[in-house]
Homo-oligomer: A and B are copies of this chain.
Amino acid sequence: MKPAVVSCAATSEETDGRPLPPGWKSYTSPEGLRYYVNCSSKETTWRHPSSSAEAPQRPLARQSSSPYANGSSSIAKASQPTETADVSLRKPATYKQPPGSVSPAKRQIKEVKETKITINCVTFPLPGEGPEQQLLKPDEWSYCDYFWTDKKDPQGTTSLPGFEVLLQKQLKGKQMQKEMSEFIHERIKIEEEYAKNLSKLSLSPLAAQEEGTLGEAWTQLKKSLHDEAEVHLKFSNKLHSEVEKPLLTFRGDNFKKDLKKYDHHIADLRKQLASRYASVEKARKALADRQKDLEVKTQQLEIKLSNKTEEDIKKARRKSTQAGDDLMRCVDLYNQTQSKWFEEMVTTSMELEKLEVERIEWIQQHLRQYTTLRHETDMFNQSTVEPVDQLLQNVDPAKDRELWVKENNTGEVRPVDMDI
Contact = CB atoms under 8 A, between A and B. Distances in A.
Given A176-B210, A353-B401, A162 B335 contact: no
A415 B180 contact: no
A392 B409 CA distance: 66
A52 interface: no
A130 B413 CA distance: 12
Contacts of A400: 360
A125 B379 CA distance: 63
Size band of the A side of the interface?
A: 35 or more
Contacts of A172: 209
B187 A413 contact: no
Given A162-B411, A361-B397, 15 more contacts: A58-B417, A62-B414, A62-B415, A82-B417, A123-B417, A145-B412, A146-B405, A148-B412, A180-B218, A183-B207, A193-B194, A214-B364, A221-B367, A357-B401, A378-B379
A395 B364 contact: yes
A418 B338 contact: yes
A371 B385 contact: yes
A262 to B, nearest CB: 17
A319 to B, nearest CB: 17
Contact of A419 (B58, B187, B420): B58
A410 B145 CA distance: 10
Interface string A156-176: 000010100100010010011
B409 A147 contact: yes
A148 B416 contact: no
Contact of A416 (B60, B193, B416): B60
B186 A420 contact: no
Interface in A382-420: 382, 385, 388-389, 392, 395, 397-398, 400-402, 404-406, 408-420
B197 A124 contact: no
Contacts of A125: 413, 416
A226 interface: no
A365 to B, nearest CB: 9
Contacts of A405: 141-143, 146
A405 B144 CA distance: 11
A221 B364 CA distance: 11
Candidate in A133, A175, A410, A412 with the most chain B CB atoms within 10 angstroms: A410
Contact of A414 (B59, B334, B342, B353): B342
